[in-house]
Amino acid sequence: MIEYEPVIGMEVHAELLTESKMFCGCKVAFGGEPNTRCCPVCLGLPGSLPVINRRAVEFVVRTALALNCKINQNSIFHRKNYFYPDLPKGYQISQYGDTPIGVNGYVEITVNGVTKRIGIRRVHLEEDTGKLFHVEGDLSQIDYNRSGVPLMEIVTEHDPSAGFDQINSADEAREYLVQLRAILMYLGVSDGKMEEGSLRCEPNVSVRPKGSDTFGTRTEIKNLNSFRAVHSGLLYEIERHKKALARGEKIVHETRRWDDVRGRTAPMRGKELEQEYRYFPEPDLPPLSFDPDWIEEQRRSLPELPQQKRKRYIEEYGLSETDASVITASRALAEFYEAAASSYRDPKIVANWVMGDFLRLLNAADIEADESKLKPEMLVDMLRLVDDGTISGKIAKTVFAEMFQTGKPPREIVEGSGLVQITDESEIEAVVQQVIDENPNEVERYRGGKKELLGFFVGQVMRLTKGKANPGMVNKLLKEKLGA
Amino acid sequence: MAENELCKLTAHEIAFLVRSKQVTCREVAEAFLGRVSSLDEKVRAYVTITEDLALSQSDALDKKIASGDELPPLAGVPWAIKDNMCTRGVLTTCSSKILYNYKPVYDATVVRKVVESGGIIIGKTNLDEFAMGSSTENSAFFTTRNPWDLDRVPGGSSGGSAAAVAADLAALALGSDTGGSIRQPAAFCGVVGMKPTYGRVSRYGLIAFASSLDQIGPFAKDVTDCALAMSVISGRDPMDSTSLDVPVPDYTKSLVPDVKGIKIGVPVEFFAQGVSPEIVELVWRAVEAFSVLGAEYKETSMPMVDYGLATYYIIAPAECSSNLARYDGVRYGLRSSDSPDPLTMFRKTREEGFGPEVKQRIMAGTYALSAGYYDAYYLKAQKVRTLIRQDFDKLFEEFDVLITPTTPTAAFKIGERTGDPFAMKLNDVCTIPASMAGIPAISVPCGFADGLPVGMQIMGKPLDEATIMRVAFAFEQATTFHKQKPKL
């Protein structure tokens, strides 16, 4: 039986976090009243002309550098011509051909212990379209607020002659996307929100017999609005290709839409089919021309990127590869971690809190670490309260949740709500005695050799003290009173 | 002063009368509006007459004069604006049905500058639809008449603006030139018309035909007015990335009637391509006149000129096919009713809204940009364009200006060439090369053939409009062609 291998290409679009649009001064923001953030330029009114947003160019140059790309010293814009109601000029200003801003870079990923350098073919700059809404019956409405928002396109290279690795599985594709998203967010060029559509991913996939050096026919997948959807969509499509090939069927080159509810892809109709875009250089814009010194300045001022941070955390804080990956996936989370870890005796304990309770609470609240009321020094203070026995580890979880909700410092929470650990031996001893007195049967069985019942007695003491008794003292006193 | 005499004055004469309080701006505006209402029935230069706007602008200026405020340089000068430049709240048609009832929400940069210079806007002038044509016969509304012979075309595409100035229906006018659309009608109507260097004047608000070629310029009754107008409209505009960041000289300072030592090149190819013998004769006579005035001239050659027309008819339609894609009926202008889906609505709107010449160019341009043809047509044309530019660069190492006929013939009869699109396009054969190279060029009256005006083209180095106007001014000072008026 033939073994098959998928080859996956990833096309990612990221809306840039610039103040204003790509070719005019209109504000960039999500949502809002329709058609309130537009002007003659982004509405494509007759006679209007585009002016390049310098900041957007800078963002793309910085991204391309972070993705290890070569920067084309001269880069030009093109017109991509097609008709659609959300495209007010009848063309999109984009970059086509050999001179996008960045070419020939890579992103490093590690999946199941295997590290690959995924090739990046191009990083280019273009403008977003408006949004078309089908209201009721035959009626459609268009919101041009998004029209002209700067959009960066990042395309992977699957030709091995470029010197880099391909993506060969859905897991690798997802990891590529995770790493790419992290880089974009570290650079502050994208908010990375796939659900809102500010980060969009359109993968293509082909399958071939393993070892073959030609590619199979590829299909493109659209409507993937989360990491999970990208992963599931690719798994589905790879299987579909494999089964078809095994049956001797031909794959049709087409764009397919992922149906998240039914968990399958289906061919798209109409305008999504092959298009003739009639690209040509945009005559309204002069070519971009970069000063090499300026490019070097951008390179020097790049922040520490996730991969570098991950390696450093493994070395400096002794974290595992997995833990370091989770923590560095977000720049804000990594900065939170580092602020706490660098001022506490055990960075691994900090890591457990950050990856556990903190990340869970952040996800539930749908916020980033730097938007949280809980600050790194509060975590450190709390850990010290555990260390000096003021609170138990169990109580710490309650304190942590309350810090997250209220932003109050841990000592205030502990003192204000009587969560301070009971360390008074006589007080605990009284409760221990009460538990022994109330459970004569269990005491007899324990003394008869069922030592695992100790946990039961500890639980009873903790219940009566609402978890505040010092667990070490409870254990010690129980053993003393119950006898060996 | 009698109404009609006021209208016959040059812009600088009117500005002087206003400044010296011999006339009010309102008197000027009313004189021109009166002449337009009695004469434009014959000439048909205007698509829209902006009477209310002109009167309110002139009243505002008169108020300033009365209160002793400082006056802008051309206060009280009446202008006509080609109807492919946006005017806020005023119909802007491009002489096309597809812009049905379209009123822009903003002023083109040039319109703003004209108003800031104290200009009074009399109206918007007729053109070939979307500036595609050489006669205004492609206007969706009507054909403008040549004031020298109402059975003849005024030239195009800026025929309305040229006729308005020639018929004293405006003192100055703005046109746009993509392959000769200012110079050719200026020659046909016996006025001065200048296409500045590409990038000298902002295109913001000029409704695009071919973006890499379009350039706005003035029509004037003499070179002095042309220089004044150029000083008003030129300069860098942050809204147009292709506008050049080079200071604007005071062009009137360059108007000295002295051409001693100026080196004139006469490229022979421009006299060959079907140019009528009378025009060859008149232009050569002009060149000889420069020799008498102290300039040196020499015959020279520009072999790439032969490819100008072919190259132009690939690049301009290609860009136009993309520029005109926005007229889809979704946001403004004409919308075809009763379509089952958006793409059908686009198709029907464009089918109904565009005239045959525009459709033909959109199709030719779409073809030239299509995959598989791009390299053979568009890319090749761009390379030829570079060669044409290099030809000019080489000639300008030796010469200060080049002199040629503006057109191969004088104004032709209405309808004479509509059945022969190739003959129509040959009209632009002398003007297209300067457009392809982006260099400045002027057309000035240099005589009459069978009672019809003939124009001489003077081309110059990039951004050297000053030398072109100095040479044109010297010729004007030595001749009287520009002073002759059509009998209406």
- Asked if A293 and A73 count as a contact pair (C-beta separation under 8 A), the reply is no
Q: Is the pLDDT of residue B54 over 70?
A: yes
Helical residues (DSSP H) of A226-341, grouped into ranges: 227-246, 292-300, 306-317, 321-328, 331-341
Chain B residues whose CB is inside 8 A of the A84 CB are 342
Give residue-wise pLDDT tens across range B95-105: 999 999 999 99
Q: Is the pLDDT of residue A418 over 80?
A: no
The shortest CB-CB distance from B207 to any of A46, A279, A286 is to A46
Q: Compare all CA atoms of chain A with the CA of B318 and give the residue at the minimum distance.
A: A280
Q: Is the pLDDT of residue A217 over 80?
A: yes
| DSSP letters spanning B341-369 | SHHHHHHHHHHHHS-HHHHHHHHHHHHHH
The shortest CB-CB distance from B212 to any of A45, A91, A283 is to A283
Subunit contact B342:A89, Cβ cutoff 8 A: no
Subunit contact A46:B203, Cβ cutoff 8 A: no
Chain B residues whose CB is inside 8 A of the A280 CB are 318-319, 322, 369, 374, 378
pTM of the model: 0.90
Q: Compare all CA atoms of chain B with the CA of A140 and give the residue at the minimum distance.
A: B342
Average pLDDT in the A12-34 region?
Answer: 94
Q: Compare all CA atoms of chain A with the CA of B375 and give the residue at the minimum distance.
A: A280
Q: Is the pLDDT of residue A1 over 90?
A: no
Q: Which pLDDT score, from 0 to 100, does residue B220 have?
A: 98
Q: Which pLDDT score, from 0 to 100, does residue A129 have?
A: 96
Q: Compare all CA atoms of chain A with the CA of B208 and give the residue at the minimum distance.
A: A47
Average pLDDT in the B12-17 region?
Answer: 98
What token pair was written down for A279?
Answer: 């690209």
- Asked if B357 and B129 count as a contact pair (C-beta separation under 8 A), the reply is yes
What one-character DSSP code corresponds to residue A250?
Answer: P
What's the CA gap between A344 and A327, in Å, rounded? 17
At A484, the pLDDT band (50, 70, 90 cuts) reads low
What one-character DSSP code corresponds to residue B129?
Answer: G
User: Position of tokens 């916020």?
Assistant: A367
What token pair was written down for B98?
Answer: 């597809």
Q: Which pLDDT score, from 0 to 100, does residue A272 have?
A: 46
Q: Compare all CA atoms of chain B with the CA of A80 and give the residue at the minimum distance.
A: B322
Chain B residues whose CB is inside 8 A of the A283 CB are 210-212, 242, 319
Chain A residues whose CB is inside 8 A of the B92 CB are 46
CA distance to partner chain B, nearest, from residue A50 (Å): 7
**DSSP H/E element including B280:** helix B277-292
Subunit contact B328:A44, Cβ cutoff 8 A: no
The 3-state DSSP class for residue B123 equals strand
- Catalytic site residue B413? no
Q: What are phi and psi of B417, to 5 degrees?
A: -115, 5
Nearest partner of B219 among B260, B179, B184, B255, judged by Cα: B184
- Asked if B18 and B62 count as a contact pair (C-beta separation under 8 A), the reply is no
Q: Compare all CA atoms of chain A with the CA of B338 and give the residue at the minimum distance.
A: A138
A276 touches B at CB < 8 Å: yes
Q: Is the peptide bond before B157 cis (omega within 30 degrees of 0)?
A: yes
Chain B residues whose CB is inside 8 A of the A50 CB are 241
CA distance to partner chain A, nearest, from residue B176 (Å): 13
Q: Which pLDDT score, from 0 to 100, does residue B367 have?
A: 95
Subunit contact A83:B240, Cβ cutoff 8 A: no
The shortest CB-CB distance from B370 to any of A84, A278, A285 is to A278
B342 touches A at CB < 8 Å: yes
Average pLDDT of chain B to the nearest whole number:
96
Q: Is the pLDDT of residue A31 over 80?
A: no
Q: Which pLDDT score, from 0 to 100, does residue A269 have?
A: 64
- State the amino acid at position B311 in one-letter form: T
Nearest partner of A354 among A385, A325, A389, A388, judged by Cα: A325
What's the CA gap between B149 and B486, in Å, rounded? 8
CA distance to partner chain B, nearest, from residue A160 (Å): 27
Which of A41, A45, A53, A271 is the mutation pick for testing B, counting most B CBs within 10 A?
Answer: A45
CA distance to partner chain A, nearest, from residue B377 (Å): 12
What's the CA gap between B254 and B85, in Å, rounded? 29
- How big is chain A, counted in residues? 484
Please identify among residues 23-42 of chain A the ones whose CB lies closer than 8 Å to any CB of chain B: 40
Q: Which pLDDT score, from 0 to 100, does residue A211 have?
A: 86
- Catalytic site residue B157? yes
Please report, to the nearest 10 degrees, the dihedral formed by the alpha carbons of residues A369, A370, A373, A376 taken in order: 80
Please identify among residues 259-318 of chain B the ones whose CB lies closer than 8 Å to any CB of chain A: 318
CA distance to partner chain B, nearest, from residue A62 (Å): 24
What token pair was written down for B457?
Answer: 């083209």
Domain ranges of chain B: 3-237+245-259
Subunit contact A47:B204, Cβ cutoff 8 A: yes
Q: Which pLDDT score, from 0 to 100, does residue A394 have?
A: 83
- Tell me how far apart the terminal alpha carbons of chain A are, to the nearest angstrom: 65
Higher model confidence: residue A103 or residue A428?
A: A103
Q: Domains in chain A, start-ordered, CATH in brackets?
A: 4-298 (no CATH), 304-416 (no CATH), 425-482 (1.10.10.410)
Q: Which pLDDT score, from 0 to 100, does residue A82 have?
A: 95
CA distance to partner chain B, nearest, from residue A382 (Å): 56
Nearest partner of A203 among A164, A155, A160, A251, judged by Cα: A155
Exposed, middle or buried by CB within 10 Å (0-12, 13-18, 19+), for B458? buried
A283 touches B at CB < 8 Å: yes
CA distance to partner chain B, nearest, from residue A328 (Å): 41
b/e per residue, A323-360, with b = 16+ CB within 10 A?
bbbbbbbbbbbbbbbbbbbeebeebebbbebbbebbbe
Q: Are strands B172-177 and B78-82 parallel, antiparallel or unpaired?
A: parallel
Subunit contact B99:A46, Cβ cutoff 8 A: yes
Nearest partner of B388 among B374, B402, B367, B406, judged by Cα: B402
Give residue-wise pLDDT tens across range B269-278: 999 868 999 9
What token pair was written down for B114?
Answer: 């004209």
Q: Is the pLDDT of residue A270 over 60?
A: no
- How big is chain B, counted in residues? 488
A137 touches B at CB < 8 Å: no
Average pLDDT in the A25-50 region?
Answer: 94
Q: Which pLDDT score, from 0 to 100, does residue A98 have?
A: 92
Of the residues B95, B161, B181, B243, which is catalytic?
B181
Residues 6 or more apart in contact with residue B61 via CB below 8 angstroms: B18, B25, B71, B75, B76, B118, B120
**DSSP H/E element including B470:** helix B465-478
Q: Rounded to whole angstroms, what are the CA distances from B257 to B249, B287, B348, B401?
A: 18, 15, 57, 16
Subunit contact B374:A280, Cβ cutoff 8 A: yes
What token pair was written down for A68?
Answer: 């290890």
What's the CA gap between A358 and A383, in Å, rounded? 14
Q: Rounded to whole angstroms, what are the CA distances from B383 to B132, B194, B375, B377?
A: 24, 26, 10, 10
Q: Which pLDDT score, from 0 to 100, does residue B223 have?
A: 98
Average pLDDT in the A161-188 region?
Answer: 94
Torsional sign, CA A237, A238, A241, A246: negative
What's the CA gap between A342 and A393, in Å, rounded? 21
At A188, the pLDDT band (50, 70, 90 cuts) reads very high
B239 touches A at CB < 8 Å: yes
Give residue-wise pLDDT tens across range A51-76: 999 999 999 999 999 999 999 999 99
Q: Which pLDDT score, from 0 to 100, does residue B372 have?
A: 86
Give residue-wise pLDDT tens across range A426-455: 888 889 999 999 999 999 899 888 888 888
What's the CA gap between B25 and B42, in Å, rounded? 26
Average pLDDT in the A407-428 region?
Answer: 83
Average pLDDT in the B286-305 region?
Answer: 95
A51 touches B at CB < 8 Å: yes
Please identify among residues 80-109 of chain A the ones whose CB lies closer than 8 Å to any CB of chain B: 81, 83-85, 88-91
Chain A residues whose CB is inside 8 A of the B371 CB are 276, 278
Q: Which pLDDT score, from 0 to 100, does residue B216 have?
A: 98
The shortest CB-CB distance from B241 to any of A47, A51, A91 is to A51
Give residue-wise pLDDT tens across range A356-373: 999 999 999 989 899 999
- Asked if B435 and B195 count as a contact pair (C-beta separation under 8 A), the reply is yes
Helical axes B308-323 vs B380-398, angle rounded to 10°: 130
B480 touches A at CB < 8 Å: no
**B3-237+245-259 falls under which CATH superfamily?**
Amidase signature (AS) domain (3.90.1300.10)
A225 touches B at CB < 8 Å: no
Subunit contact B325:A91, Cβ cutoff 8 A: yes
B238 touches A at CB < 8 Å: yes
Average pLDDT of chain A to the nearest whole number:
92
Count of beta carbons in the 10 Å neighbourhood of residue B69: 10
Q: Which pLDDT score, from 0 to 100, does residue B1 have?
A: 62
| DSSP letters spanning A353-407 | HIIIIIHHHHHHHT--GGG-S--HHHHHHHHHHHHTTSS-HHHHHHHHHHHHHH-
Give residue-wise pLDDT tens across range B435-458: 999 999 999 999 999 999 999 999
- Asked if B479 and B141 count as a contact pair (C-beta separation under 8 A), the reply is no
Q: Are strands A280-281 and B263-267 parallel, antiparallel or unpaired?
A: unpaired
At A271, the pLDDT band (50, 70, 90 cuts) reads very low
Give residue-wise pLDDT tens across range B161-192: 999 999 999 999 999 999 999 999 999 999 99
At B371, the pLDDT band (50, 70, 90 cuts) reads confident
- Asked if B279 and B407 count as a contact pair (C-beta separation under 8 A), the reply is yes
Q: Which pLDDT score, from 0 to 100, does residue A274 have?
A: 57
B128 φψ region: left (φ > 0), alpha (ψ -120 to 50), beta (else): beta
Torsional sign, CA B302, B306, B309, B315: negative
CA distance to partner chain B, nearest, from residue A405 (Å): 48
Torsional sign, CA A66, A70, A72, A75: negative
CA distance to partner chain A, nearest, from residue B98 (Å): 12
Count of beta carbons in the 10 Å neighbourhood of residue A388: 8
Strands lying side by side in the sheet with A264-267: A70-71, A102-111, A114-127, A150-156, A4-15, A199-209, A219-222, A254-259, A264-267
Q: Which pLDDT score, from 0 to 100, does residue A412 have?
A: 87
At A392, the pLDDT band (50, 70, 90 cuts) reads confident
Nearest partner of A42 among A170, A144, A139, judged by Cα: A144
A462 touches B at CB < 8 Å: no
The 3-state DSSP class for residue A121 equals strand
Subunit contact A43:B343, Cβ cutoff 8 A: no
Q: What is the ipTM of this complex?
A: 0.96
Subunit contact B204:A91, Cβ cutoff 8 A: no
Q: Is the pLDDT of residue A34 over 70?
A: yes
Count of beta carbons in the 10 Å neighbourhood of residue B377: 20
What token pair was written down for B402?
Answer: 């080049």
User: Position of tokens 């010296």?
Assistant: B20
Average pLDDT in the B139-160 region?
Answer: 98
Of the residues B58, B134, B157, B158, which is catalytic?
B157
Q: Are strands B296-300 and B215-220 parallel, antiparallel or unpaired?
A: unpaired
Helical residues (DSSP H) of B8-71, grouped into ranges: 11-19, 25-43, 51-66
- Catalytic site residue B181? yes
Q: Is the pLDDT of residue A296 over 90?
A: yes
Give the range among A316-320, B109-113, B158-162 with minimum mean pLDDT: A316-320
Chain A residues whose CB is inside 8 A of the B331 CB are 43-45, 88
b/e per residue, B229-254, with b = 16+ CB within 10 A?
bbbbbbbebebbbbbbeeebeebbeb
| DSSP letters spanning B180-195 | STTHHHHHHHTSEEEE
